[in-house]
């Protein structure tokens, strides 16, 4: 069991290179903000207290925190004084002893398990400080790790303060540290800003501790991808792609088939059962869950949807829908919030649906709008049916019973109900309830005006094509 008293997340920086009105740590990948990913990793550690140092865009960050980590405390840094300054503020009223983890809010790939290992190594060895390091082929921009001949960590030098020899070092500081609180309290007041950026560097604490005879543990990460940070939109996209691959690999190992993992984007918050098959160009977002054997895609987007076992969703866009066992959706279906499809039901091409339930085995196969409706079991909604739910001011409900046959091109003007086993005639405008077992006919009776084309369209191809006997017929009016 890892013992952790505080986790401090440094997130006050401006993120200037994002060129955004949104604070950097609030940019999202895989369905969570950068800060949200860091907080999710911290979840695994159960620190006694989380403190987030905020500054730039603080109202937005505070609001986000109140949603994703309501227990986290915020510490305001109202000017950029450096990572050392930010840590000083966060530690001001912290307890004098214990263990503290310090990390940045812009490293979305860090895993809880790596952090757990880091803290365990720190606590077991009784170190003053433990630093997570990484070897990067291009260490530009990062602080470099300076080791003694025996491998001991001596100090960390920032890129801008490093000599040419130091800049050639490929081992970098990840910006993730575990400290003994008593030791950190003792050292952090001694920081000075005599450096290229005129800031207090948290990294300088390492040299101060070492000079005081304290033991420092450098831990080289086996997976340097984990420590990557986001400073601009290029890195945002890189981290998003890396996270996509991690998430997809995990699901494939869990028994999910992905035809093309490079075009499959699954949020960290999604759950997928074994033997689901995901076709190319699919995005699964938010609180979506996919049950066993379901087939999703190609080119489908599901946001906050629950898909039942064996169901399929092809070429469709679905938000807040519940898709039952063996139900079929698509191609080209738009399911909006509150669409609830029972077992074995089907909603097909060019159908838009919201706030409606489709009973077991019922079908809305083609070209319909279904809003605010309850459809019973075994019912068929003919092609081109419109549930006219909106009177221009208010929305109204339509109830369709079991084993109903709604004729093609019916308009069901809500509020209206169609009884069990009832029919509507094709192209009817249904404004009155249709009783069980009745057929509702709501259209003008057809009349044929014989010879009309020959008289009114004489000389056209239609007139020529018209059979001679068409002329003989008497006009009906």
Please pick, from the candidates 156, 178, 205, 327, the single residue that binds ligand UD1 as defined by CB under 6 A: 156
Of residues 173 and 428, the one with the C-beta less far from ligand UD1: 173
Q: Which of residues 220-259 bind Ca ion (CB under 5 A)?
A: 229
Closest CA to 110 of 86, 134, 87: 134
Please pick, from the candidates 82, 297, 310, 361, the single residue that binds ligand UD1 as defined by CB under 6 A: 82
- Tell me how far, at minimum, the Cβ of 360 lies from ligand UD1, in Å: 52
Q: Which of residues 349-368 bind ligand UD1 (CB under 6 A)?
A: none
What element of type H or E holds 397?
none
- With CB under 5 to 8 Å by kind, the binding choice for 319 among Ca ion, ligand UD1, none is none
Of residues 131 and 256, the one with the C-beta less far from ligand UD1: 131
Angle between helix 34-43 and 58-68 (nearest 10): 40
- Give the side-chain half-sphere CA count within 13 A for 435: 1
Strand partners, 354: 371
Please pick, from the candidates 33, 106, 341, 416, the single residue that binds ligand UD1 as defined by CB under 6 A: 106
- With CB under 5 to 8 Å by kind, the binding choice for 83 among ligand UD1, Ca ion, none is ligand UD1
Q: What residues are annotated to the active site?
A: 366
Q: Contact between 15 and Ca ion (CB under 5 A)?
A: no
Q: Which residue is nearest to ligand UD1 (CB)?
A: 143
What element of type H or E holds 65?
helix 58-68
Q: Please return the burial class of 324, using the count of CB atoms within 10 Å of its CB with bins 0-12, 13-18 and 19+.
A: buried
Strand partners, 104: 10
Rounded-to-integer distance, Cα 375 and Cα 341, Å = 10
> Total binding residues for Ca ion by CB under 5 A?
1
Q: Which of residues 184-213 bind ligand UD1 (CB under 6 A)?
A: 201-203
Locus of tokens 């068409």: 470
- What SS3 state is found at 53? strand
Of residues 85 and 363, the one with the C-beta less far from ligand UD1: 85
- With CB under 5 to 8 Å by kind, the binding choice for 239 among ligand UD1, Ca ion, none is none
Does residue 314 have a cis peptide bond before it, meaning omega lies within 30 degrees of 0? no
Please pick, from the candidates 2, 33, 74, 77, the single residue that binds ligand UD1 as defined by CB under 6 A: 77
Q: Which stretches of 69-179 are DSSP H helices?
A: 83-91, 112-125, 164-167
Please pick, from the candidates 158, 171, 267, 409, the single residue that binds ligand UD1 as defined by CB under 6 A: 158
Q: Which of residues 3-32 bind ligand UD1 (CB under 6 A)?
A: 10-13
- Tell me how far, at minimum, the Cβ of 228 lies from ligand UD1, in Å: 9
Rounded-to-integer distance, Cα 375 and Cα 363, Å = 9
Closest CA to 183 of 123, 124, 120, 98: 98
Positions touching ligand UD1 (CB under 6 A) are: 10-13, 53, 77, 80-83, 85-86, 104-106, 142-143, 156, 158, 172-175, 201-203, 229
């Amino acid at each position: 069991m890892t013992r952790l008293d505080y986790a401090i997340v440094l997130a006050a920086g401006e993120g200037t290179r994002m060129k955004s009105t949104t604070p950097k740590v609030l940019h999202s990948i895989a369905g969570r903000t950068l800060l949200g990913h860091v907080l999710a990793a911290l979840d695994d550690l159960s620190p006694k207290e989380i403190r987030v140092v905020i500054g730039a865009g603080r109202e937005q960050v505070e609001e986000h925190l109140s949603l994703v980590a309501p227990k986290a405390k915020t510490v305001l840094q109202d000017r950029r004084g450096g990572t050392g300054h930010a840590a000083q503020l966060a530690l001001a009223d912290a307890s004098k002893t214990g263990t503290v983890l310090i990390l940045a809010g812009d490293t979305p790939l860090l895993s809880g398990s790596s952090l757990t290992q880091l803290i365990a190594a720190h606590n077991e060895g009784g170190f003053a400080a433990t630093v997570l390091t990484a070897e990067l082929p291009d260490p530009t921009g990062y602080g470099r790790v300076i080791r003694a001949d025996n491998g001991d960590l001596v100090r960390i030098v920032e890129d801008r303060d490093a000599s040419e020899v130091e800049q050639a070092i490929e081992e970098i500081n990840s910006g993730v540290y575990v400290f003994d609180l008593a030791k950190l309290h003792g050292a952090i007041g001694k920081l000075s800003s005599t450096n290229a950026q005129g800031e207090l560097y948290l990294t300088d604490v390492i040299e101060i501790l070492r000079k005081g005879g304290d033991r420092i543990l450098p831990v080289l990460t086996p997976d340097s991808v984990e420590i990557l940070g986001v400073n601009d939109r290029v890195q945002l996209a890189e981290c998003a792609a890396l996270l996509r691959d991690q998430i997809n690999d995990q699901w494939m190992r869990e028994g999910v088939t992905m035809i093309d993992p490079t075009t499959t984007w699954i949020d960290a918050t999604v759950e997928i059962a074994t033997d689901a098959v995901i076709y190319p160009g699919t995005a699964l977002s938010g609180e979506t869950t996919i049950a066993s054997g379901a087939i999703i895609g190609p080119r489908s987007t599901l946001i906050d949807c629950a898909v039942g076992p064996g169901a399929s969703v092809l070429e469709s866009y679905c938000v807040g829908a519940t898709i039952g066992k063996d139900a079929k959706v698509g191609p080209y279906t738009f399911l909006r919030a509150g669409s609830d499809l029972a077992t074995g039901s089907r909603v097909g091409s060019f159908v838009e649906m919201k706030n409606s339930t489709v009973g077991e085995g019922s079908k809305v196969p083609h070209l319909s709008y279904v809003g605010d409706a309850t459809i019973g079991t075994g019912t068929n909604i003919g092609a081109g049916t419109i549930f006219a739910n909106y009177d221009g001011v208010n929305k109204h409900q339509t109830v369709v019973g079991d084993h109903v046959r709604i004729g093609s091109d019916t308009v069901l003007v809500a509020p209206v109900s169609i009884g069990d086993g009832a029919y509507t005639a094709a192209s009817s405008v249904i404004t009155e309830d249709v009783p069980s077992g009745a057929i509702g006919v709501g259209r003008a009776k057809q009349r044929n005006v014989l010879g009309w084309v020959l008289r009114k369209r004489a000389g056209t191809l239609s007139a020529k094509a018209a059979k001679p006997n068409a002329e003989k017929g008497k006009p009906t009016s």
